[in-house]
Amino acid sequence: MGFNCLATAVLSTESRLFAEGFMSTHYHFLLQTTAVSEVMRRCRYAYARYFNTKYRRKGSIGEKKYFSLEIEGMHHTLAALNYVIRQGLHHGLAATPFGYPHCSANAYFRSDLGKTIPALMKEWNRYKYLPSNIKVPVSIRMSEDGLLLREDVLDVAWVEQNYISPRNFLFQMNRIADEKDLENQQKENGLPPVTMETIETGVPDFVLKESKVFEFGKVNRSNMTDLELCALIDTMLVPKVCKERQDASVYLLSESKRAELCEWLWRECLDARRQKGTQSIFANKYVSENQLRRCLSLQPFAAK
């Protein structure tokens, strides 16, 4: 749904979208536009309306400000493309960029890399998957899972032209950024270089040292992802607490009740770690305390 909101914002402002990557706490995208603020406003407003309706809550979502970086020149552009497309890899959620589904990695050089287009939806259920007040051109297709087809929204041809060949694209998806990249960017123009530090400005729980390890494809599959944890909370725990409500949502619980639930889950996680191999609500996966607080809409503990 996040991608659909971004796609409709890009289409309605006549912007060009080149790459995107959605995480559970933030997202990055590279685009060409004369209306940066308007793209952000439309995207965030559409997603907030969807999220508030789904979870029975009110108000805005996320911070009021957003981070943007002007890109100009071949080396800056390639560095920005590489970083945005490799989001899942940098955050330790996939061993390669292609293993993370919530990004544009699999939209480029499809035929050359043997990738097929997802099964398409024959008739759109637009009120389920798109903001109701948005008009999307009939040329934009939708997959069976309700995702607007990335190839129809992204300027794939422009991105492929920057990578020149499928082989170079694969090389760029697997290479490790080094000092030479910074040198090339600094020689190109006076703009700040594209690095992990600059792109991830203000991102929650971002640790540069960890991301550099993740670049080598080292995924800790024993850690539960935010999506897995939120699904567990939404489908198993909240319905038990809100027994009499059909529209159960974590946002219907008081802060004290959510804090109580967080404490119970944390104890369950600690018990699961001590008693390996036993049955656990976490299915032998681990979470952090701040991760629990985030997914229960509680303020995280301040970093020491």
Per-residue pLDDT tens digits for 26-62: 999 999 999 999 999 999 999 999 999 989 999 988 8
pLDDT at 166: 97
Is the full-model pTM beyond 0.85?
Answer: yes
Check whether 303 has a pLDDT greater than 60: no
Joined together, the tokens standing for residue 159 give: 């991105």
Which of 49, 51, 44 lies closest to 29, judged by CA? 44
- 233: Cβ–Cβ under 8 A, 6 or more apart, which residues? 250, 295, 296
> What is the tens place of the pLDDT at every residue in 148-178?
999 999 999 999 999 999 999 999 999 888 8
Check whether 205 has a pLDDT greater than 90: no
Q: Name the helix (H) or strand (E) containing 32.
A: strand 27-32
The answer to whether the beta carbons of residues 206 and 26 sit under 8 Å apart is no
Alpha helices (H) along 111-176: 126-129, 150-153, 156-163, 166-174
Residue type, 253: L
Residue type, 117: I
User: pLDDT grade, residue 276 (50/70/90)?
Assistant: low
CA 212 remoteness from chain centre: 19
